[in-house]
Amino acid sequence: MSLKNWHIDPTWTLFLDRDGVINRRLEGDYVKRWDDFEFLPGVKEAIALLSKHFRYIFIVSNQQGIGKGIMTHDDLGIIHEKMVQEITEAGGRVDHIYYSPYLESEDHFMRKPNVGMALRARKNHPGLIFKKSFMVGDSLTDMIFGKRVGMKTVMIEDNPNLPRKYPKLMDFSCNSLVAFAAIIHN
Ligand SMILES: [Mg+2]
Reduced to 3 states, what is the DSSP secondary structure of residue 52?
A: coil
138 as an active site residue: the answer is: no
Task: Divide the 186 residues of the chain into consecutive groups of 10 and give the mean pLDDT of each group.
Answer: 79 98 95 98 98 97 97 98 98 98 97 98 96 97 98 93 92 96 93
Q: What is the pLDDT of residue 1?
A: 56
The alpha-helical segments, DSSP class H, found in 8-72 are 43-51, 64-67
Q: How many Å lie between the centroid of ligand 1 and the Cα of residue 89? A: 24
Q: What is the pLDDT of residue 5?
A: 76
Can you give the three-state secondary structure of 103-124, one letter per residue? CHHHCCCCCCCCCHHHHHHHHH
Q: How many Å lie between the centroid of ligand 1 and the Cα of residue 21? A: 6
Helical (H) or strand (E) element with 88: helix 73-89
Q: How many Å lie between the centroid of ligand 1 and the Cα of residue 96? A: 17
Query: 2: which DSSP letter?
Result: -
Number of domains making up the chain: 1
Q: How many Å lie between the centroid of ligand 1 and the Cα of residue 136? A: 9
Give the structural domain span for 63. Answer: 3-157+166-185
Q: How many Å lie between the centroid of ligand 1 and the Cα of residue 144? A: 13
Q: What is the pLDDT of residue 139?
A: 96
Residue 120: which CATH number? Answer: 3.40.50.1000
Q: What is the pLDDT of residue 160?
A: 83
Q: What is the CA radius of gyration of the chain?
A: 15
17 as an active site residue: the answer is: yes
Q: How many Å lie between the centroid of ligand 1 and the Cα of residue 127? A: 26
